Structure 1
Amino acid sequence: MPQIRPVSDLRNNFAEISRVVHETAEPVFLTKNGYGDMVVMSMETFERHQFQSEVFLKLKEAELEAETTSKRYSHKDVFDELRAKLSDRIKSDNV
């Protein structure tokens, strides 16, 4: 269940809010005059949300491409290309 607190708690109970966001890995929603104003979360939670958003966007791009083209790649084709790129990178790093 999300925690909703007045924004004044950020000033008056900062240590408690910090503890809550780190222990629960959930954001705390802050209100001002009864309306949503801010969200406070740990860096780890923020980074996880950022990563999930990036993955979601990449999947949406892939879906759009799949809808607009009939070209399909096999598992073997994809992994062969990845292995070749990794091999080239390793060779260039060792030079």
Structure 2
Amino acid sequence: MPQILPIKDLKNTSNISEMCHKADEPIYITKNGYGDMVLMSIELFEKTQKKWNMYSDIEQSEQQIKEGRIKDARKSLSAVKEKYGL
């Protein structure tokens, strides 16, 4: 279940830092009862960023397939082997 904290709780930075490093998900910060910010550890951010990059690569690949910009894997591998004498 996501953790939701009011912005006034950000005063205790040590506790917030500890919470971020223990949590496996972002911590949502509210202001006047509405969503305002998201906090997470650097480790969680980097892990999430890798997923976003992977999804972006998959989306780009799917678009290339739709556009017909594909190559036969066997022919490409043979060309690489021939080029480098493998």
Q: Aligned partners of 1:2, 1:77: CA distance in 2, in Å? A: 46
**Residue identity (%):** 37
**Structure 2 residue runs without a partner (length 5+):** none
Q: Secondary structure at the match of 2:25?
A: coil
Q: Who is 1:62 aligned against?
A: 61
Q: Aligned partners of 2:67, 2:16: CA distance in 1, in Å? A: 47
**Structure 1 residue runs without a partner (length 5+):** 86-95
Structure with greater proportional helix content = 1
Measured against aligned partners, the alpha-carbon deviations of 1:6-49 in whole angstroms (never above 9, x if no partner) come to 011111x3222211111123211000000011111000111111
Count of residues paired in the alignment = 82
Q: Aligned partners of 2:25, 2:49: CA distance in 1, in Å? A: 14
Q: Aligned partners of 1:72, 1:65: CA distance in 2, in Å? A: 11
Measured against aligned partners, the alpha-carbon deviations of 1:42-93 in whole angstroms (never above 9, x if no partner) come to 0011111111111111100000101110634326835x74xx79xxxxxxxx
Q: Secondary structure at the match of 1:31?
A: strand
TM-score, normalised to structure 1's length?
Answer: 0.72
Residues 28 and 74 of structure 1: CA distance in aligned 2, closer, same or farther (over 3 Å)? same
Q: Who is 1:36 aligned against?
A: 35
Q: Aligned partners of 1:65, 1:42: CA distance in 2, in Å? A: 35
RMSD: 2.5
Residues 7 and 75 of structure 1: CA distance in aligned 2, closer, same or farther (over 3 Å)? farther
